[in-house]
Amino acid sequence: MPYDLEELEKFRLSGRILREAREEMRSYIKENMSVLEVCERAETLIRAKGGFPAFPCNVSINEVTAHYTSPPNDTSVIPAGSTVKIDMGVQVDGYVTDTAFTVAFNPEGRNMTATAELALKTVIDNIHDDMSTGHIGGIIETVIRNHGFKPISNLTGHSVGRYLIHAGTSIPNVASLAANKVCVGDVFAVEPFVTHYDALARVDDSPQTTIFRMVRAKSVKTAYAKQMLKYIETSFRTLPFAERWLTNIVPKQHHAEAFKELLQSKIVTSYPVFIEASRRPVAQAEHTLLIKKDGCEVLT
């Protein structure tokens, strides 16, 4: 077993906080709502329940597939008739759980959402110790294609760990020959993404970046960059963060230059926003699972 009982209890607590926050968010999301308000609401709920956001709340709308969180002073709103993916994470003492759901304000989006949820449920009902990750991808792809849609081929689920969102093993969303196995005691996030049958069904990087992560600690030149880096190291360690989480860390007039210095010195890296290559809307569902001998425990 890679995790002892005490560690598993921390994963369970992390998952419980995340599940409660997610269910409150599910009924909260409305058309024309401010995206920034949605992000802050999710993160506030997580903190109020005793967890920490493991990454900024992602609000990815229509063809924007993943990795969008509100930049500082974001004025965007949830468009009427859109398909909105909310992806949230919690860490408790570093133990990460990850979940996502979709709210669709249009009939086809609701169909894609139901299909993503069914693909996820089918994995939950069938997964067990020693199953290959390629086989899991096959389960996901079969359900999605049987419903007349396509899975996004270049986004995957992933093992999670302590202070790690992506702990090394991927779970594809399409059938593959990947021979990695899931084993008793492993913790995995499984996340099918569903799009139109005639879409390219893969994501491209957009030039926009809204989520960041510290990748190395090395010395920086200016005092303000130093101060900002220290805050990042203590508050987020190696976990992703949003620029809006850094407001008031250094005097306002020095924020932009300090943040730029951390990016340019490659101490902090950024994640591009992912967009479906043919600009088709995408739905997503995600849970974090603890693998058992004959099945799994849904932590979220």
- Applying CB under 5 A, which residues contact Mn ion? 87, 98, 100, 189, 286
Nearer to Mn ion, 189 or 246 (CB): 189
Is 166 annotated in the active site? Answer: yes
Catalytic residue among 7, 74, 98, 276: 98
Is 31 annotated in the active site? Answer: no
Is 286 annotated in the active site? Answer: yes
The DSSP annotation for the chain comes to --S-HHHHHHHHHHHHHHHHHHHHHHTT--TT-BHHHHHHHHHHHHHHTT-EEEEEEEEEETTEEE---PPTT---B--TT-EEEEEEEEEETTEEEEEEEEEESSHHHHHHHHHHHHHHHHHHHH--TTEEHHHHHHHHHHHHHHTTEEE-TT--EEE-BBTBSS-S-EE-SS------EE-TT-EEEE--EEEETTS---EEEEEEEEEEEE------SSHHHHHHHHHHHHHHTTS-EEGGGGTTSS-HHHHHHHHHHHHHTTSEEEEEEEEETT---EEE-BEEEEE-SSSEEE--
Nearer to Mn ion, 227 or 269 (CB): 269
Catalytic residue among 43, 63, 276, 286: 286
Nearer to Mn ion, 189 or 290 (CB): 189
Catalytic residue among 166, 204, 254, 297: 166
Is 276 annotated in the active site? Answer: no
Please state the closest distance from residue 191 (CB atom) to Mn ion, in A: 5
Is 87 annotated in the active site? Answer: yes
Nearer to Mn ion, 98 or 186 (CB): 98
Please state the closest distance from residue 88 (CB atom) to Mn ion, in A: 7
Is 158 annotated in the active site? Answer: yes
Please state the closest distance from residue 4 (CB atom) to Mn ion, in A: 24
Catalytic residue among 63, 87, 141, 276: 87
Catalytic residue among 67, 158, 255, 287: 158
Please state the closest distance from residue 227 (CB atom) to Mn ion, in A: 30
Please state the closest distance from residue 175 (CB atom) to Mn ion, in A: 20
Q: Which residues are catalytic?
A: 87, 98, 158, 166, 191, 286
